[in-house]
Amino acid sequence: MAEKATGYDAAEAASGGLPQLDISTWGGQIFWLVVTFAILYFALSRFILPRLGSGLTERSDRIADDLDAASRMQQDAEAAEAQYQSSLADARAKAHKINATTKSSVDAEIASEVEAAEAEFTRQSSAAEARIAKIRSEALRNIDDIAADTASEIVSKLSGMKVTAARAKTAVSKA
Amino acid sequence: MANDPMNQFKIETIVPLPPVAGVDISFTNSALYMVIGIALVIGFFMLTMKRQLVPGRMQSLGEMSYEFIADMVRDTTGPEAMKFFPFVFCLFFFILFANLVGMFPYAFTTTSHVAVTAAMAIFTILIVIVAGLWKNGFKWFKIFAPSGLPLPMYALIIPIEIISFLSRPITLAVRLFANMTAGHVMLKLFAIFAAFLVAKGGAVAGLAILPVLGTVALVALEFLVAGLQAFVFAILTCVYLNDVYHVDH
């Protein structure tokens, strides 16, 4: 391709040739190229590229942070759920326990009341039995007296003998 | 003037300035379009610097440009070459905007001048040489002598490697300059031909539609070339920068 360019030069040299090959303009072109390229390099490397680059890294950092935060929140949610489940299980266990203890205490109360009632009943019935026995023995003793009286009366009526109360009594108890 | 397809490349002084060290540094149309080019690049990136978390359209464009060149440097040369990322970025956008601005009718294409493209190419190669020597010392010259060859082969390989290395700035410069020049000459020739046919008048004037269609197609092609050549220059710079970091190849 370089040959083609020089070929043009030879062919067109008479009619002015390629303006590109006019060496007198090269210095000025290169001077302005250096000036403009230096300004462009300064502006881009100092101001524009660092800002673009930091914007990009900021965004990727932010995305990474957000992903981290999201996974952390998920872990938190899972932990909260586990806690909720365990407290639910606790509450359930407690309810069971309360149920059981209430039942047993009610049972015990019923049992103790039944026992008390039975004790009261036996006490009352034994007291009644004692009273009946007492009344009965009293009645028996009265029978002896009545029998002695009756006997002494019968004896005095039949024989006209006076029988003392004591003798009559011993006689009756002997009979 | 309109009939000379080479006229569009003519350097014209706009503001004459006194020469410095024998160099005429007058402000020319070429200098004007370089200033326009960098002003557009800087202006474009100023618009992209909103720094919102969720980018808008312009910010996305800026970030895409950044990632595009950053990936190019990282993938082609390696992460250690990110020092040169601003340089490659500047090269790419300087050339891209120079090429695109040159597509406007009556605009001047600064990259169609071999002085400009050669200066950029030689500067790029000088950076490779200086950075290579800076980093590796004289071991850097091993890039001309690939290891693991039988000794007599070096007599052949070393000159070939040196020639291929020295041809890099030439190909880099000529590729861009020739592409831009040839494209613009072709466009001008098609346009001149259309004007010529119309000037003939009559039934022949109707045939002018063909070169006009050709011009339209060429404009599309030239936009492709404008981007492609900027890309090629930037990626070849990355490939050449490879020699700074990977001496043993």
Of A26-30, A57-61, A120-124, give the range with the top mean pLDDT: A120-124
Chain B nearest-CA distance from A56, in A, is 7
**Full residue range of the structural domain in which residue B114 is found:** 7-245
Structure tokens at B28: 């020319």
Q: Is the pLDDT of residue B22 over 90?
A: no
User: In the structure, what pLDDT confidence band is assigned to residue B104 with cuts at 50, 70 and 90?
Assistant: confident
Is pLDDT of A152 > 50?
A: yes
What's the pLDDT at A14?
Answer: 40
What token pair was written down for B121?
């190419």
Q: Are B119 and B230 in contact (CB under 8 A)?
A: no
Residue B80 is assigned to a structural domain of this protein: yes
Contact A53 B30 (CB under 8 A): no
Helix (H) or strand (E) holding B27: strand B27-28
Q: Which of A4, A36, A46 to mutate to test the interface with B (most CBs of B within 10 A)?
A: A36
User: Which residue from B minimizes the CA distance to A55?
Assistant: B51
Q: Where are the domains of chain A?
A: 26-174
Distance between CA B114 and CA A20 in Å, rounded?
A: 6
pLDDT in tens, B136-153: 888 888 888 777 777 888
Q: Give me chain B's average pLDDT, please.
A: 86
B84 touches chain A (CB under 8 A): no
pLDDT beyond 50 at A1: no
Tell me which chain B residues have a C-beta less than 8 angstroms from the C-beta of A3. none
The verdict on a CB contact (< 8 Å) between A36 and B28 is: no
Give the chain B residue whose CA is nearest to the CA of A26. Answer: B115
Q: What pLDDT does residue A162 have?
A: 76
**Is the pLDDT score of B68 beyond 60?**
yes
Closest by alpha carbon to B175, among A69, A20, A1? A1
Touching A: B residues 106-125, CB under 8 Å: 110, 112-116, 119-120
Confidence at A12, pLDDT banded by 50, 70, 90: very low
The count of other CB atoms within 10 Å of the CB of residue A127 is 10
CB B227 within 8 A of CB B96: yes
pLDDT at A16: 58
Separation of alpha carbons A41 and B45, rounded Å: 13
**How confident is the model over B117-128, as a mean pLDDT?**
93
Angle, to 10 degrees, between the axis of helix B209-245 and the axis of helix B114-136? 20
Q: Which residue of B has its CA nearest to A53?
A: B66
* A65-87 tens-digit pLDDT: 999 999 999 999 999 999 999 99
User: Residue B1 domain-assigned?
Assistant: no
pLDDT at B1 over 50: no
Dihedral angle over CA of B78, B80, B81, B86, nearest 10: 120
Q: How many domains does chain B have?
A: 1
Average of pLDDT values for B201-212? 81
Indicate whether A9 pLDDT > 70.
Answer: no
Alpha carbon distance B29, B7 (integer Å): 13
How far apart CA B106 and CA B116 sit, in angstroms, is 19
Q: What is the ipTM of this complex?
A: 0.86
Q: Which residue of B has its CA nearest to A17?
A: B6
